[in-house]
C-alpha cells in the first residue's frame, strides 16, 4: 500500500546545468517563489528539483560549454535528511542520462507533482464517463514531464460530481476533494462558481456574474488557475488511491512553472497565497515574472535570480522585516528584485534628463519647455509634477498643468 509521504527539498546546487554556471539555493518548507528575467534559469531549477526523484528520464542537460554538469544538494524524506550528487553528461536533446541513485526513488516520486506552463484548453467533448487512469511508476513519470490532458481532469470532475449524488459511491476523501475543486472555480473571482453537470453532454457549466457558461468559456488566465489546482487534486487522488487522504493533506512537493501565466494583475496578486492555502501541508516551489506575486510574499520565500557582470547567475538576498515585500511598490520590485534595469520608457527617460539638465544649468526657458513636454506624458496624479514645479519655482519659472490649469 502506498503511503502519504512527507517530502521536502532542502537545498539544490547546480554546476554547469542548462544555462546555469554555478548556483546554490536553499528552500523553505512552505511557499518558495523563484523570479528573474527570461532565460536566467528558473525553469531549469524546477526541472532539476524534479530530476532528483525521477531516475529513469533525463530532463536536464549539461551546459554546452562544459564537459559535464553536476546536480547536488539534500532533501528530507519522513524527517530524515538525504544528500545527493549526480553527474550530468547529456546535452543532445535525444540523449538519455540514467542517473545513479543510492536507493529506489520509487518510494518518493509519487510525492512530486510538476505543473507545466501550458495550461490552456479548448472545449472537450466527453462521450462516456471513464474509470480512473493508472498511476504506476512509469505512468507518473510520463504525466510529470508531458503536457497534461484536460480531458483527464474533465472526466475526473464529472465522475465525482455525478456520483456525489449517490449514497455510498464516493469515499470521504473524494467528497472533500470535489469540494476543494468546486471552490477552486471561485478562487480568483467569487462571482464565478460551479453550477451543474449537463446529463446529456457531460459538460461542466458555471455561473459567472449571473450568466450560465461552459467551463471552457472562461478566460485563458482563469482556465489556467482552475487547471493547475484540479491537476494537483486529481493527481494526488490518483496516485494515493489506497491511502484515502484528502488533497489538502498532501505533504509532498508541488512545482509550478509560470504560476502567473495569462493572469490579470489583480489575480496575480491572489494566486500564490490561494494555492498555498489550498495545499497548506505541501512544499510549493513556483516560478513567476510578476511583481504582483512578489508583493504578497513573506520575507524568506523569494528566490531572486540575477546575473553579475560575467553573466553568471546568483541569488540576491534582502534584509526584510516580517512583512516581506508587501510594502514595496511594483517599480521597486521590478528594479531591485527582478533585475529590471529601467522601469520607465526611453522617451520618458529622455524627457526627465532634459528637465534635470535644464534645472542644473539654471536655464529657465529650457526647463519650462521640458516641463511642458513632460506634462503631456505623465499620469494625471503623478507626484513628479509637484516636485518639478517646486524646482522650477526656484528658477523663477511658473508653470501650469494642462490637465489642471489652476495648479
Q: Are residues 239 and 358 located together in one domain of the fold?
A: no
Q: Are residues 331 and 365 located together in one domain of the fold?
A: no
- Low-confidence stretches of the chain (pLDDT beneath 70): 1-4, 91-104, 401-407
Q: Are residues 362 and 304 located together in one domain of the fold?
A: no
DSSP 247: G
Q: Are residues 57 and 140 located together in one domain of the fold?
A: yes
Q: Are residues 254 and 362 located together in one domain of the fold?
A: no
pLDDT score of 164: 95
Is residue 37 in a domain?
A: yes
Q: What is the domain range of residue 325? A: 7-337
pLDDT score of 1: 41
Q: How many structural domains does the chain have?
A: 2
Last residue of a domain, which of 337, 367, 384?
337
Q: Are residues 227 and 312 located together in one domain of the fold?
A: yes
Q: Are residues 137 and 161 located together in one domain of the fold?
A: yes
pLDDT score of 331: 86
CATH of the domain at 90: 3.40.50.300
Is residue 405 in a domain?
A: no
Last residue of a domain, which of 337, 357, 374?
337
Last residue of a domain, which of 292, 312, 337?
337
Is residue 21 in a domain?
A: yes
Q: How far apart are CA 133 and CA 142, in angstroms?
A: 12
- 321-328 long-range Cβ contacts below 8 angstroms, 24+ apart: 323/299, 324/297, 324/298, 324/299, 324/300, 325/294, 325/295, 325/296, 325/297, 326/295, 326/296, 326/297, 328/294, 328/295
Contact 90, 96 (CB under 8 A): yes
Q: How far apart are CA 222 and CA 363, in angstroms?
A: 53
Q: Are residues 54 and 157 located together in one domain of the fold?
A: yes
pLDDT score of 335: 86
pLDDT score of 148: 94
pLDDT score of 149: 94
Q: How far apart are CA 390 and CA 392, in angstroms?
A: 5
pLDDT score of 98: 55
Per-residue pLDDT reduced to its tens digit, 269-292: 999 999 999 999 999 999 999 999
Per-residue pLDDT reduced to its tens digit, 357-380: 988 888 989 989 999 999 988 888
Q: Are residues 123 and 181 located together in one domain of the fold?
A: yes
- Residues 6 or more apart from 225 whose CB is under 8 A from it? 184, 187, 188, 263, 267, 271, 274
Is residue 400 in a domain?
A: no
pLDDT score of 2: 45
Contact 44, 60 (CB under 8 A): yes
pLDDT score of 102: 47
pLDDT score of 101: 52
Amino acid at each position: 500500500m502506498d503511503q502519504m509521504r512527507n517530502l521536502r527539498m532542502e537545498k539544490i546546487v547546480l554546476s554547469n546545468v542548462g544555462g546555469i554556471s554555478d548556483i546554490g539555493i536553499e528552500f523553505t518548507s512552505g511557499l518558495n517563489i523563484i523570479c528573474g528575467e527570461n532565460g536566467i534559469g528558473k525553469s531549469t531549477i524546477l526541472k532539476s528539483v524534479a530530476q532528483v526523484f525521477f531516475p529513469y528520464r533525463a530532463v536536464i542537460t549539461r551546459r554546452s560549454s562544459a564537459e559535464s554538469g553536476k546536480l547536488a544538494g539534500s532533501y528530507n524524506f519522513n524527517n530524515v535528511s538525504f544528500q545527493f550528487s549526480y553527474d550530468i553528461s547529456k546535452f543532445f536533446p535525444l540523449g538519455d542520462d540514467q542517473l545513479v541513485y543510492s536507493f529506489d526513488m520509487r518510494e518518493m516520486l509519487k510525492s512530486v507533482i510538476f505543473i507545466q506552463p501550458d495550461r490552456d484548453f479548448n472545449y472537450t467533448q466527453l462521450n462516456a464517463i471513464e474509470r480512473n487512469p493508472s498511476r504506476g511508476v512509469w505512468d507518473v513519470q510520463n504525466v510529470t514531464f508531458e503536457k497534461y490532458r484536460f480531458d483527464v481532469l474533465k472526466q475526473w470532475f464529472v465522475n465525482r460530481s455525478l456520483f456525489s449524488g449517490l449514497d455510498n459511491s464516493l469515499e470521504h476523501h473524494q467528497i472533500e476533494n470535489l469540494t476543494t475543486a468546486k471552490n477552486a472555480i471561485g478562487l480568483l473571482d467569487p462571482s464565478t462558481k460551479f453550477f451543474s453537470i449537463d446529463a446529456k453532454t457531460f459538460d461542466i457549466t458555471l455561473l459567472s456574474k449571473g450568466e450560465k457558461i461552459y467551463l471552457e468559456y472562461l478566460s485563458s488566465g482563469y482556465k489556467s488557475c482552475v487547471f493547475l489546482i484540479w491537476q494537483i487534486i486529481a493527481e494526488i487522488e490518483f496516485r494515493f488511491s489506497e491511502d484515502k487522504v484528502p488533497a489538502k493533506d498532501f505533504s509532498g512537493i508541488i512545482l509550478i512553472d509560470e504560476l502567473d501565466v495569462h493572469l490579470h494583475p489583480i489575480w496575480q496578486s491572489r494566486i500564490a497565497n490561494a494555492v498555498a492555502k489550498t495545499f497548506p501541508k505541501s512544499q510549493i516551489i513556483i516560478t513567476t515574472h510578476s511583481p504582483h506575486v512578489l508583493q504578497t510574499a513573506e520575507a524568506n520565500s523569494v528566490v531572486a535570480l540575477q546575473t553579475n557582470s560575467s553573466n553568471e547567475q546568483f541569488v540576491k538576498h534582502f534584509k526584510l522585516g516580517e512583512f516581506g515585500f508587501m510594502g514595496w511598490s511594483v517599480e521597486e520590485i521590478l528594479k531591485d528584485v527582478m533585475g529590471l534595469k529601467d522601469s520607465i520608457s526611453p522617451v520618458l527617460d529622455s524627457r526627465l534628463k532634459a528637465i534635470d539638465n535644464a534645472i542644473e544649468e539654471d536655464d529657465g526657458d529650457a526647463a519650462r519647455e521640458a516641463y511642458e513636454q513632460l506634462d503631456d506624458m505623465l499620469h494625471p496624479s503623478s507626484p513628479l509634477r509637484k516636485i518639478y514645479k517646486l524646482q522650477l519655482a526656484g528658477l523663477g519659472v511658473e508653470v501650469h498643468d494642462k490637465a489642471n490649469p489652476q495648479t
